[in-house]
Amino acid sequence: MDASVEPSRHTLAPDCVPPERRLWAAAAVFAALAMASLDTAIANIALPAIAADLKTSPADVVWVVNVYQIGLVTTLLPLGALGEIVGHKRIYLGGLILFTIASLVCACAWSLPSLLVGRALQGLGAGGIMSVNTALVRFIYPPHQMGRGYGHNALVVATAFTLGPTIASGILSLGSWPWLFAINIPFGILAALIGFKTLPQTPRATHAFDFPGALLAAGCIGLFVLGIGSAAHGTSPMLVLIEIGAAAVIAWALTRRQADHPAPILPVDLFRKPMFALSTGTAICSFAVQGLAFVSLPFYFEDVLHRSQVETGFFITPWPLVVAVMAPIAGRLSDRHHAGGLGGIGLTMLAVGMALLAALPNDPSIPNILWRIALCGIGFGFFQAPNMKAIMISAPAGRAGSASSVVATARLIGQTTGAALAALCFSIAGHDGATLALALGAGFAALGSAMSFLRLIAAPSEAI
């Protein structure tokens, strides 16, 4: 397939899966997505128990989370590009099988190094799942229901993050930490069996896979995220500059290498499309807001408002809970209305919610806190599914894998950037850094809203 030829609007997402099989195909996709999303949350909860059982330090056990994130983020773009050549179904099922096997390795780990090997393999498997996840949704649902599919996708992710800490705490109350990983195994096997039977075969490109380019792409994104993370943890500014500078140099080398490639791994060809570029920028802004909020709010509630840890968890829960409710609604609306308007409205609500949180009085009542958090969740949930759909349908069908990997990469870059900026706010303003971070989040949401509304002018006929 010539990746430079863009199909018509009505052939962007052919109904590859018959209606009687569509529910099962979606279940296979969303089950694996839920597992990969849950594993980020449950590992954080289990770190103290793992450190005590394996007799390691808190500083070392943090690598249980880090190696998973590194394995995930460095493989998104290469595997998305590979899916366009070998088929998204193969990449997805390969990632799911590797994730399931790696879960068994983690459950049987006897030392920190063995656990880190398992977690690194889990990250690679999660990269296979998340890199082509939204591409498969595009081929599972017919064009007139595509927004509904992306709404369900956002619902699954929001629900996983909402229930992750609760599920982890429940498992740890009944058994030891290896069960957190062992529970993935039966669900992974079941999802793989369903996926083999029901997932669609997608169009395949004829060009060869650029392995050196894939290594450059992995190094570029990996070093960039590592640099942002180093900044968040207060690492030497010189080291941060070296990491981000190296990422920039590698990105330049990669674009030079693939200048004439029909489907570059770093998809500069897609970023030439106004709808794709604006939608990706809007996604980064929105997830930066989420990163700023989720890092700063616990400190805000506990250090500024002097609330307990239990109350803090209760206060934050409405955000992802409301996102889970709003995502399917927004997805259905995106099948009839332009993503620029829906996203702009959602991010405006998010900006207002963040500003109102930053302006909370010194001793607010519980309802006064909760309705502000809920407003943020409504805004974020109203934005997410339409924006995901906008990114996917603004790319040709033959470039769905690269577009899908950009969706996941934008989310991780935004969240990491938001967390780093929150840490910077605390280093600048001390305890008042939480308020500064919330105000900065309001600014990012306002910027994202402006970019979203700009899509109505730049691409008025797209994203519906």
Percent of the chain with pLDDT over 90: 34
Tracing tokens 């992306």 back to the chain, one arrives at 150
CA–CA separation, 44 and 93 (whole Å)? 26
**Four-CA torsion 437, 438, 439, 440, nearest 10 degrees:** 50
Whether the CB-CB separation of 381 and 323 falls below 8 Å is answered with: yes
Closest Cα to residue 296, out of 428, 432, 412?
Answer: 432
- The sign of the torsion formed by the CA atoms of 260, 266, 272, 276 equals positive
Q: What confidence tens digit (pLDDT) does each residue in 81-108 have? A: 999 999 999 999 999 999 999 999 999 9
Predicted confidence (pLDDT) at residue 464 exceeds the cutoff of 70: no
Confidence of residue 462 (pLDDT cuts 50, 70, 90): low
> What are the extents of the domains in the chain?
18-205, 211-260, 267-464
Three-state DSSP state, 153: helix
- Using alpha carbons, list the distances in angstroms from residue 148 to 114, 196, 404: 41, 23, 17
Confidence of residue 6 (pLDDT cuts 50, 70, 90): very low
Q: Return the half-sphere exposure (C-beta side, CA atoms, 13 A cut-off) of residue 382.
A: 23
Count the neighbouring beta carbons within 10 Å of the beta carbon of residue 65.
17
| 267-464: CATH number | 1.20.1250.20
Mean pLDDT, residues 236-252 taken together: 89
DSSP track, 368-425: HHHHHHHHHHHHHHHHHHHHHHHHHHTS-GGGHHHHHHHHHHHHHHHHHHHHHHHHHH
Whether the CB-CB separation of 126 and 98 falls below 8 Å is answered with: no
Q: Worst-scoring range by mean pLDDT, 4-8, 148-152, 385-389?
A: 4-8
Give the N- to C-terminal CA distance of the chain in Å, as an integer: 25
Do 267-464 and 18-205 fall under one CATH topology?
A: yes
Q: Which tokens belong to 279? A: 């939608």
Amino acid letter, 298 = P
Mean pLDDT, residues 392-411 taken together: 88
- Using alpha carbons, list the distances in angstroms from residue 218 to 76, 342, 366: 8, 33, 45
Predicted confidence (pLDDT) at residue 201 exceeds the cutoff of 90: no
Residue 52: per-residue pLDDT = 85
Residue predicted with more confidence, 324 or 136: 136
Mean pLDDT, residues 375-396 taken together: 90
The residues near 339 (Cβ < 8 Å, ≥ 6 apart) are: 279, 386, 387, 389, 390, 452, 455, 463, 464
CA–CA separation, 120 and 123 (whole Å)? 5
Whether the CB-CB separation of 153 and 135 falls below 8 Å is answered with: no
Whether the CB-CB separation of 351 and 175 falls below 8 Å is answered with: no
Closest Cα to residue 156, out of 323, 41, 346?
Answer: 323
Indicate the CATH number of 18-205 among 1.20.1250.20, 1.10.260.40, 3.90.190.20, 1.10.357.10.
1.20.1250.20
pTM for the model stands at: 0.83
Residue 463: per-residue pLDDT = 57
Residue 102: per-residue pLDDT = 95
CA–CA separation, 372 and 356 (whole Å)? 7
For residue 111, count CB atoms less than 10 angstroms from its CB and return exposed for 0-12, middle for 13-18, buried for 19 or more. Answer: exposed
The residues near 122 (Cβ < 8 Å, ≥ 6 apart) are: 39, 68, 71, 99, 102, 103, 106
Mean pLDDT, residues 244-271 taken together: 88
Considering just the CA atoms, what is the radius of gyration of the chain in Å? 21
Predicted confidence (pLDDT) at residue 9 exceeds the cutoff of 60: no
CA–CA separation, 39 and 375 (whole Å)? 27
Whether the CB-CB separation of 300 and 438 falls below 8 Å is answered with: yes
Q: What confidence tens digit (pLDDT) does each residue in 326-335 have? A: 888 998 898 8
CA–CA separation, 93 and 86 (whole Å)? 12
Residue 123: per-residue pLDDT = 92
Element at 78 (helix H, strand E): helix 63-86
Degrees to nearest 5, angle at CA 240 with 50 and 243: 90
Taking each continuous run of H as one helix and of E as one strand, the counts in the chain are 18, 0
Residue 2: per-residue pLDDT = 42
Mean pLDDT, residues 341-359 taken together: 94
Q: What does pLDDT average to over the chain?
A: 86
CA–CA separation, 425 and 428 (whole Å)? 5
CA–CA separation, 66 and 387 (whole Å)? 28
Q: What confidence tens digit (pLDDT) does each residue in 433-457 have? A: 888 999 999 999 999 999 999 999 8
- Using alpha carbons, list the distances in angstroms from residue 291 to 315, 415, 419: 16, 4, 5
- DSSP secondary-structure letter at 142? -
